[in-house]
Amino acid sequence: MSGVLNKMKTFFMGYDEYDEDYMLEEESMVDISPATSTSSKSEISSFDQPKVLNIHKNTKVDIMNFKMAKYEVTGDICNYIKQRKPVVVNMQSLEKASAQRALDYLTGATFALDGTVQKIADNVFIFSPQHISVSTISEELKQKSNFSFQ
């Protein structure tokens, strides 16, 4: 069987066994030193397997909506931020000092996770994680649009 393959290689590739022996000798002369990084067998074999991505995947994002009646629920809201879920918080029921403390606490947690905070209305804020962007419509676009924004 190998004789047939060698003849086919010679016919198509244009070299004979002498060239093949020379190439094998060249390969054996190459200095193979151990890699400096410690890579496991699973890392090497993962390159051999093709990666298949589903482009029709619908990811559902839950936006949590809270109306704070007391400061003590700030820790519960912060847990949703730590789970990288966008959170809308209405602090209109809180006293001014408590609302400021809650805003500072939640803003710190959001920025620690590379998220963003945006003011939606008076004492209403959205805390969004890094992978979710929140866009706003400027007054200029509102005036040019045929839709009524409220």
Angle at 35 between CA 52 and CA 42, to 5 degrees: 30
pLDDT of residue 60: 77
- How much of the chain, in percent, has pLDDT values that exceed 90? 39
Residue ranges of domains in the chain: 1-27, 64-128
Q: Which residue has the higher pLDDT, 93 or 21?
A: 93
CATH code of the domain made up of 64-128: 3.30.110.150
Q: Name the pLDDT band for 97 (thresholds 50, 70, 90).
A: very high
128, containing H or E segment:
strand 124-128
The most confident of the ranges 16-20, 45-49, 61-65, 131-135 is 61-65
**Residues in a beta bridge with 148:** none
Q: Is residue 118 within a helix (H) or strand (E), and if so which, with residue range? A: strand 116-121
pLDDT average, residue stretch 132-138: 76
More confident residue, 79 or 29: 79
Alpha-carbon gap, residue 84 to 82, rounded angstroms: 5
pLDDT of 93 > 60? The answer is: yes
Going by pLDDT thresholds of 50, 70 and 90, the confidence category of residue 24 is low
Query: What's the rounded Cα separation, in Å, for the pair 132 and 148?
Result: 25
SS3 content of the chain, % helix, strand, coil (to 5): 45, 15, 40
How much is the pTM? 0.54
